[in-house]
Amino acid sequence: MSGKFRLAQISDTHVRADDGGSAALQLRRAMTQAAEYGADVILLTGDLVNDAREDEYVALAEAISNPPAPLYLMPGNHDDRGLLRRFFSQHAYLPREGALHFTIENFPVRIVALDDIVPGETHGLLRRSGAEWLESALSVERTKPTIVALHHPPFLTHDLLFDTIGLLDAEEFATVVARHRQVLRVICGHHHRVAIGQAAHAPVIVAPSSSWTYGLAMDPGQQIAPKTAEQPGWMLHAWTDHGGMASHFIGL
């Protein structure tokens, strides 16, 4: 197996059926760039559509119908598990019931994808069931380089809004990760901007949205979640067996 691996992480695509195809076009542009960078895997880390509507999943399915690399879908707080199962039944890695946890194997880097959404809510929760699944999934292979992916940031970003709607039991998440030194990165989305944090020993990379960027509100009186002119984009996570892992923002 090759000693290199490239993961294209595209997040918060918010595909709509009433925006003239703008969000879907951004997603396709990101996939085209992922191909240019030789991505081995494309992972969409949640908020795939904007309002969890059937017509939006139809538009999403069309947008990703011919991916340039194996493509995997994770839910975010704007998604509906049942509709994901129905419209993407060919994605056999998605469990037929319960949370949409899965792993991506057969690459030099293992990806453990955690479904942390709470139906009807904006925040994320690991819960005991998620912690047990994560512990079990990471225990299967303790020596292989691993990326853990989820939707909500598992650390405090110091944003007045997003710290109330992130992963609310992040300490439990970090406790599980701490037992598994093979976890090289934790990746997530939700915040619509690049941010870097920490979960136990592992750096956490928050991907931007491919559709729009939110600014920061760190102090009282600042506007909450303002849309900014900052460039949307995606993250490229590159690993080699001799150089470890690096993560890069790619603008759209």
Predicted pLDDT of residue 58: 98
How high does pLDDT run on average in the chain?
Answer: 97
112-126 pLDDT, tens digit each: 999 999 999 999 999
Q: Residue 184: give its domain's CATH number.
A: 3.60.21.10
The pTM assigned to this predicted structure is 0.97
19-41 pLDDT, tens digit each: 999 999 999 999 999 999 999 99
Rounded Cα distance between 183 and 109, Å, is 10
pLDDT at 2 over 80: no
Distances (CA, A) of 135 to 173, 175, 191, 216, 228: 10, 10, 26, 33, 38
pLDDT at 12 over 60: yes
State the residue range of the domain holding 127: 4-251
Q: Six-digit token pair at 149?
A: 């992916």
DSSP for 57-93? Answer: HHHHHHHTSS-SS-EEEE--TT--HHHHHHHTTT-TT
Predicted pLDDT of residue 148: 99
pLDDT at 1 over 80: no
210-243 pLDDT, tens digit each: 999 999 999 999 999 999 999 999 999 999 999 9
Give the chain's domain count: 1
Contact 13, 47 (CB under 8 A): yes
The string over 52-74, giving b where at least 16 C-beta atoms fall within 10 Å of a residue's C-beta and e elsewhere, is: beeebbebbeebbeebebebbbb
Give the residue-averaged pLDDT of 177-187: 98
Contact 82, 99 (CB under 8 A): no
40-96 pLDDT, tens digit each: 999 999 999 999 999 999 999 999 999 999 999 999 999 999 999 999 999 999 999
